[in-house]
Structure 1
Amino acid sequence: MNELDPRIHAYDDTGRLAETALLGRLDQSFTFVEPTLAWTGPARLSLHARPDLTSPQVTEALPGEALEVVVRRADGWAWLRTRADGYLGFARTAGVVAHAPADPLAVTALRGHVYAQPSIKSPLVSELCLGAQVSAAGDEVTEHGRRWRPVEGGGGNGGWVQAVCFEPLPDADPAALALRFLAAPYVWGGRSAWGLDCSGLAQLVFGVFGQRLPRDADQQQAALTVVDSARRSDLAFFPGHVGIMLDGKKMVHANAGWMAVSVETLGEGEYGKRLQAELLGFGRWEA
């Protein structure tokens, strides 16, 4: 049992329930269930440590993100995981849908909105964020020189998004993308520019370039190649913390010290000296 990680392996000792992927690793006192595919709806979905809104948020699923539902509960909660990283938590089933976005559009803007009509004066329908996917729902229109894309919305209601929110990102440079998050608020378990934590930032800026990282800092450290000295876009690891290196000394990170994304220089200033003293090492993405 010690080899199983409850963050990514779905088993409940108390209820003696587990996912079928653990057949052969757990004894037959468990009832095994097959997770079912699902997707996040039009809003970000908070995954909690327990089926209780007052429990900590452990991660966040972005709009249109693929999920696996382990158990749907009668109280309106589900035990589920984000498929890309296998991370488990409890979420309200109202935010879960049965189908993937049709004709998906990938959001590349850090933040954005769906509008009720193709006009910046129109009421807002919902929020968007980098990494989200929405369903295209028709042809583009132009209004005052602005290009708008119609998208499907929640509850069957459509909406409109400026096409600039879907423009391709430049060539892969996770460090440069992380710098665009400067001053974004720190939120434990968050994974979007509306609020995110240290490992959420690292996972997001690598993930949009197809470089998938696990969810938590210790998992990311184990997944990367250990290097002795840092270069741009390497990750720096500390106890329970991770940052993205801009060069051999400077680092951008989401942190609870400033409650925001900021840049520190290892070994300089009070915070930088503390980080240098706690540095566990560097890791490098290698395809």
Structure 2
Amino acid sequence: MVPLPPDPRTHAHHPETRHAEESLRGQLEGSGWTYVTPRPVAAAARLSLRAAPRTDAAQVSEALPGEALERLWDDGHGWVYVRTGQDRYLGWTRLGGLTAPPSGETLTVTALRAHAFAGPKVSQPIVGELCLGARMTRAPGEVVEEGGRRWVPVVLPGGTAAWVGEPVLSPLEDADPAALALRFLDTPYVWGGRSAWGLDCSGLSQLAFAAFGQFLPRDADQQQEALTVVTAPQRGDLAFFPGHVGVMLDGQRMVHANATHMRVTVETLGEGEYGQRLAAGCTGFGRWTA
């Protein structure tokens, strides 16, 4: 059996430039490859990862603030080829968006969307945009109470000192990815997006599971391959379609980010024109069993 070529979404190799990651040494055809050892970095803010080192190239994914990345190689013109640490997804981003990995106590944002402020008061200037899954460092100092609110001192990715409201960091309730996915209702659809500022179908399912320590791959086909196949869906299962995925709310209703409505909506499989098309195109259901 001829071995399959490495998946270009997760295994770094460019036949045109002959660059490849060190772990692929001996697995690629031909000669003249330059093998690169990845270096740890982090996203200083939400970073668009693109298919090519150009601003007009398609966004393939998005790195969240403080997310661990691997820096692979540069194009010499301000673009860097990187890979996300958790789902191992590859893309090009601007060099200026990278920073050193966070050190010290790390805090993770649990709010869908939030802001960081220059001081412990809502009237202070906004100095950072946050989202579910963003990571920052706890700064020295005490929590400040102001007007019945509690503010936590932090250092944002990239080094900016800031304050965030304590509810932004509050633990999530019972581990229910379906309930969390439903909170994204009406979030705009953005191809490659991974946050409540805009996301795509697999970005929604990935975020809803990752918040509870259940880490899914990036794309719908990868998620389908990673899950256990089930025939009778229940709450929290994923429904799969060609190039699409949704989170089941029960045996028929599904919440999904879709380009038909250009936002996150709820559909009932088999009901209405769109629901009938979805039901006809469904390729199966998957369940997290790890």
Q: Where on the TM-score scale, by shorter chain, does this alignment land: which range?
A: over 0.9
- After superposition, the Cα gap between the structure-2 partners of 1:105 and 1:97, relative to the gap in structure 1 and judged at 3 Å, is same
Give the CA deviation at 1:179: 0.6
Partner letter of residue 263 of structure 2?
A
Other structure's SS at 1:201 match = helix
Match in the other structure for 1:265: 268
Give the CA deviation at 1:176: 0.4
1:197 equivalent among 200, 219, 238? 200
1:161 equivalent among 164, 169, 189? 164
2:24 equivalent among 14, 18, 22? 22
Identity across the alignment (%): 58
How many residue pairs get aligned? The number is 286
Give the CA deviation at 1:150: 1.1
Other structure's SS at 1:277 match = helix
- Which TM-score applies when normalising by structure 1? 0.97
- Could you give the per-residue CA deviations for residues 138-194 of structure 1, whole angstroms, max 9, x where no partner exists? 321000010001111366431110011000001210000001000111100000000
2:218 equivalent among 206, 215, 218? 215
Other structure's SS at 1:142 match = strand
8 Å contact kept, 2:116–2:130: yes
- Could you give the per-residue CA deviations for residues 220-269 of structure 1, whole angstroms, max 9, x where no partner exists? 00111011110000000000000000000000000011111110000001
RMSD: 1.2
- Could you give the per-residue CA deviations for residues 24-82 of structure 1, whole angstroms, max 9, x where no partner exists? 211443121111111111x1011000000111110000011110111033211100110
Partner letter of residue 71 of structure 1?
W
* Alignment gaps of 5+ in structure 1: none
Show the 5 A alignment for 1:129-208: 129-138=131-140, 139-153=142-156, 156-208=159-211
1:107 equivalent among 106, 109, 121? 109
8 Å contact kept, 1:140–1:147: yes
Deviates more, 1:147-156 or 1:231-240: 147-156
Question: d(CA) in 1 for partners of 2:180 and 2:242?
Answer: 24
Other structure's SS at 1:267 match = coil
Match in the other structure for 2:50: 48
- Could you give the per-residue CA deviations for residues 92-118 of structure 1, whole angstroms, max 9, x where no partner exists? 111111222431111000000001111
Show the 5 A alignment for 1:235-250: 235-250=238-253
* Alignment gaps of 5+ in structure 2: none
8 Å contact kept, 1:64–1:132: yes
8 Å contact kept, 1:101–1:133: no
